[in-house]
Every structure is written in C-alpha cells, then in structure tokens.
Structure 1
Amino acid sequence: MAERIVKEAQVPFESSGQRFDQITTELFQDFSRSRIQAWIKEGALLVDGKACKAKEKLLGGEVVSLDVALEEQEAHEAQDIPIDIVYEDEHILVINKPAGLVVHPAVGHREGTLLNAILHHAPETAHVPRAGIVHRLDKETTGLMVVAKTLQAQTDLVAQLQERSMGREYEAITIGVMTGGGMVDEPIGRHPTNRQRMAVEPIHGKDALTHYRLLKRFKNHTHIRLKLETGRTHQIRVHMSHIQYPLLGDPQYSGRLKMPKACGEELQITLRNFRRQALHAKRLELNHPFTGDWMEWEVDLPDDMAELLEVLDRDMVESGSKDSEYF
C-alpha cells in the first residue's frame, strides 16, 4: 500500500513575486527541489486548490497544498539477510556492513544485496528511492553506513553529504611506510581506458579531498586513519594509490600481491589469505534529520583487519626490528 503525504501551508506575503517552485521548496523543506518540481508537473501540488505552473509567480497569502501517494520504487525483492544494526529509530538506520556484501543491486548482483536486506528489515523503505541508501561502501569495504527510512530523512541526509557536514572516518592499511600524514586534493573521474576503474582525472574529474594521518608504522606497511570531505567512487583507494601508498589487498589499484623483503612465514600466509582492500568505515557523525541532534557512532575493526595488524606487529618483533611505531 502506498504511503500518503498530505501537507498545507500559506505563502508568506514577503515571498510575493517569487516562482511557485521556489516558494514550495522553501515551504516544504523536507523534500528536494527536483521532487517538488516533479509533483508540480503531476498536479500533486496545488495553489488555492488549482494546478499551477512551476515558473508562475505568486502574490502571497495563497494556500499551497500537497496530496501525493508515494509509490514503491523500482521493485526489488526483500530478502532475510542478516545485518548488523548499530542504531535504529523511526527515521534512520545505521548499519555495520560486512565485507563481501554488495550495497545496491546491479547487473550480476540483483539479489543478496544490502538493499534487499533493508527492504526485509524495514519494509517502509520501499517508498524511498534506493530503499533509503544515501551513500555506499564498496563490496569489500566494511563499516558504518546510514540509511534513511523516510523520504524526509533522505532529503536531509543527502543535503548533509552535499554540504560536507556529515563526518566519515576510515581506517586502512597501506603498502609502503609513510613518513607522515597529509591531504590528497585531486579530482576523480572514470578511468579513460578501463571503465571498471576510477582515476585521478585533472580535466574531467570531480573534486575530491581526502585527509589522512598515521596511526602505526610497520616494516613495509602503515596503519592510517582517513577523513573524507567528498564521496567519490573508490575515493580512498584511488587517492592512496595516486600517492604511491595503495591499500593492502586491493588488486584493482595496487596490482598483484608482492611479498615484502624479509617477510616471515606467518605474515606471508596472512597476506596471501587477505583477499580484499584493507579499508573500514570506522566512524560516522551527522545531525539527526528529525531532531537535529548531533550523533556519533564508532565500530571496531573487523576480525580480519585486526588479525592482520597483530601479524604485522609480530613480524616486526620476530625479525629483530624495533617495535612498530605508534602516533
């Protein structure tokens, strides 16, 4: 059954002379401008009970009314797939995504995705575009994601992402020993020859900014913390590869596995068995879309990354090197 939205508001007299779509975007801020314009075209938004063109100017004092049924989006099957819920209320859902879980259905992955799992856990998200998913993690990346359970929450969360007010921090293990933290400010776009990859594209790329700092330094690897200001596809993976410190276990951007020199047997086995990029979305911060309260979540590293760090540490000790360095 379709969810129904019914709202009404009077046009302020100080808005006299403004366009209908501009005024309604201000009156109904729970919804995006593009959605407002679509509802105007559909005749779901009325002025004093009558249809009105988006560009028509209002005088002030009119009553704008909205009466619309939210139809279900593109049909995807709800599937009973276990998800690790960190927080939930009637507006949002915060999930700790495991490795190997595709976020959104695509060619070759129509089922068994996080979206299918969300639809089963929260059926009301069937009325929200992409079942409320506002940002994604790559299939093999673990960690925190926020999902909107209502259209209003989605509009607000998307705005926070666009305004760069939502905080997202990651932890990763890179190949190579860094000397210090820094920032990568390089535009990212589709790779010119390999359409499955992204790349730093100075001309056609979109702006992308990644901050990183050292947590721990090993013989041949570095444990780092990263903070995103933008959310481009594969951003961390592309940026770290660009500065010659690709993520460990990332065949797409670091190439084939090469064993470091003087590498102990335990570490060799661990590296061969670590078959994904060592990247985890550890911390998430945002303003709650309904209450406005500032909220923060942080989750532990997954077992495989935690074990990898322990093995890297032991390898340093057993090789006679000085202890790994903390920062």
Structure 2
Amino acid sequence: MSEKTVLVVGGAGYIGSHTCLQLASQGYEPVVYDNLSNGHGEFVKWGPLEQGDIRDRQRLDEVFAKYRPAAVLHFAALIEVGESVKNPAGFYDNNVVGSLTLLSAALSAGITSFVFSSTCATYGLPERVPMDETHGQAPINPYGRSKWIIEQVLKDYGTYKDMRSVILRYFNAAGADFEGRIGEWHTPETHAIPLAIEAALGRRAGFKVFGTDYETRDGTCVRDYIHVLDLADAHVRAVDYLLGGGESVALNLGTGTGTTVKELIGTIADVSGRPFPTEYVGRREGDSTTLVANNDKARQVLGWVPRYDLTDIIRSAWGWHTRTNQH
C-alpha cells in the first residue's frame, strides 16, 4: 500500500478534479476512478484515469489491486436536487447502492481511511442559522436523503468495521482554478453562478430568480458560496488527518457568510462589467430560505480556513467561462 496514492472516485468531476490538483500539489498521486457520465476526461491531469462505475464491484476490485491506495475520496454522486425528485430510483441506485459497493470493495482492500462528499442538504430546513454539525438532519428531497443514508452507514462501519471517515458537508461550491485549467462544467447547467455568468456573456437569454418574498434582507434566498479550491484544500487536510490516525468526524464546509441572490447578481455584474437581464419568478419547490454554515469545527479539527471570498469566486469563474467555449 502506497501512503501517497489515493483513489479519487468521481475525480473527473467539478470538485473532484480541483481536489486532484490540490492533492498533487501536496505530493499525493491521485488515481481517478470515474464513469465519465458527468465528469470530463480532459479534467484528469494529475494522475491516471481508470474508467468504471461505482456499482461495478469487479472493476473496483481490479483498480484497488492495481494501485493499492492508502485512502479513498468519494465524490461520485448524482447531485441535481430537482432531478432527484423526478427520478428518486436513479439517485438511490447511484448514490446509495453505488456507495455501498464502493465501501465493500474498499473494506476488502484493507482501506480504513475514507473521505465522503456530503452536503448541507442532509440538514433539511434550517432550525437555526448559521448551522453547525449538531443541527438535526431531516432531508427534504431524495438527493439529501441519499447522502444522509451513507453518512449513517459510515458511522456503523466506523463502529463495527474500523473504517474511519471524514464526512464533509458542503454548502454552495463555486468558482474555478485561477489558471483556468479546470472549472465548473455541468450539462445541463443548473448552478446559479455559471447560469448568471452565461447570461452576462450573452450565451443564454437571461437569469431567473426564484422567489422574492423570502424573509431575508432583500426577499431572495441566502446561500453560503464556498470556493472550490477551499473545498479541495479541506479534502487534502482530511486525507492527512485520517492517514495520521484521526478519528471519524463530520464537518461543515462553508464560509459562514451568507449572500442573497440579488447580491450575487450584483457582484457578477460588477466583476464582469456586464449587467444582464434578470427575471423574477415564483418560488421553486424545495428551496430553503437561508443556508449558512458554522465552520468552527473544520477550523478546529483540520486547521482549515477558507481563503477566498465571493469576489474571488466570481473572478475565477468568470475567467474560466470566458476562456472556454465548451459550454
């Protein structure tokens, strides 16, 4: 087993690829395992790519035997909340059955260090803001529930199977590599920042704001946008922590600062110098009013402090979207 080889499952995707960049910069060899259903082969630049599905136990066993990684980082999930409501079976098949298959293969290969991409969607509707890790978990959609189920599985595997895990609950991932090598590229795109930037670039007709009557400072939803490189940094720290013998823990990854949709639009218009048409429509089902992280625990456990603010996020995302013509 190589202490510096890690298996990055879903490493051709948005957050996975930025984490591979960060892992390589810290001396790790990230081996990417991805079925490329949502990932991009050209995002795999810092280690080998092994194509395969997380539900394919035989293929997983082959890759574990070939590379003998010291730890697994698991990013491979379907993430679109609206799609999870339309197709819950697909989400449970990939996010739950797939994760269980991956965990079984990891256990068989003797892996005891596992980093799991989770989400603030496991909390459901906020009882208090900012939300810390003691907040109740009552997901309101199949996506959030599929992640919550695996969190519970990991706790059991910690108790009964010696599998130590760091569960990382993301708030709103955003931004891109400042050198423009990789960035946010989803098909179809559903995330607010890329959609607004595409509107500013004239690549789509305009930007829709869902709901203007929320109890927030300007009536629009509040979200905690966290730079993808800050997320990547937390993942590398989580690997270091587990390989150093750290105990299982669940941590929020957010900045602790909330931004309304109107403020987000204003920042994008300022950074780009291009105001864009905005349409205000009714609320969207399943949207929480305010989601903001309390990130004290991640600071304490991993020594992790977010480095980038909203302007940095928008500047890096703008750089990526103006450089690339794939979208």
Q: Radius of gyration: which is bigger?
A: 1
Query: Under a length normalisation based on structure 2, what TM-score does the superposition of the two structures give?
Result: 0.27
Query: Under a length normalisation based on structure 1, what TM-score does the superposition of the two structures give?
Result: 0.27
Higher share in strand: 1
Higher share in helix: 2
Greater RCO (CA < 8 Å, at least 6 residues apart): 2
